[in-house]
């Protein structure tokens, strides 16, 4: 069974599908610096697994530990940033990935645990 699990800090709302982009004065969209740095860190962590060679579709599961219920995002809103990062890093199109919301717990530090599983290995 091939799978890779990566732990990443949860840096707040800038990872949300609703807030990770900003708009320049000329109207063009950009990815916020804090989000871009987080995406690059995640990319480096998954690059060594060579998931581009795995059988598709990939299952991408995200578990979260958050400070409290008021700081907890909807895990589905994090999917855009995470799946786009995997696509940019490996070249695997995000249409070949299946998102699964994982378990939510509370405590410190706030943390996301991202697991990528090869098809048929659930």
Of the candidate CATH numbers 3.30.470.20, 3.40.1190.20, 3.30.1330.70, 3.90.1150.10, the domain formed by 3-117 belongs to: 3.30.1330.70
Residue ranges for the chain with pLDDT beneath 70: 20-21, 120-122
Q: What percent of the chain has pLDDT over 70?
A: 94
Position 120 scores a pLDDT of: 60
Position 29 scores a pLDDT of: 79
Q: What's the CA gap between 57 and 31, in Å, rounded? A: 26
Structural domain boundaries in the chain: 3-117
Q: What's the CA gap between 56 and 44, in Å, rounded? A: 21
Q: With the C-alpha atoms ordered 50, 52, 53, 54, is the resulting torsion angle positive or negative?
A: positive
Radius of gyration of the chain (CA): 14
What are the pLDDT digits (tens) for 28-52? 877 888 989 999 999 999 999 999 9
């Amino acid at each position: 069974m091939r799978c890779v699990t990566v732990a990443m800090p949860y840096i707040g709302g800038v990872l949300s599908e609703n807030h990770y982009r900003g708009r320049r004065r000329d109207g063009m969209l950009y990815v916020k610096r804090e989000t871009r740095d987080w995406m690059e860190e995640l990319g480096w962590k998954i690059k060594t697994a060579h998931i581009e060679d795995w059988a598709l579709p990939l299952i991408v599961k995200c578990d979260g530990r958050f400070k409290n219920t008021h700081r907890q995002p909807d895990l589905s809103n994090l999917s855009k940033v995470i799946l786009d990062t995997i696509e940019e890093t490996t070249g695997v199109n995000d249409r070949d990935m299946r998102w699964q919301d994982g378990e939510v717990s509370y405590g410190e530090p706030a943390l996301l645990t991202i697991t990528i599983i090869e098809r048929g290995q659930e």
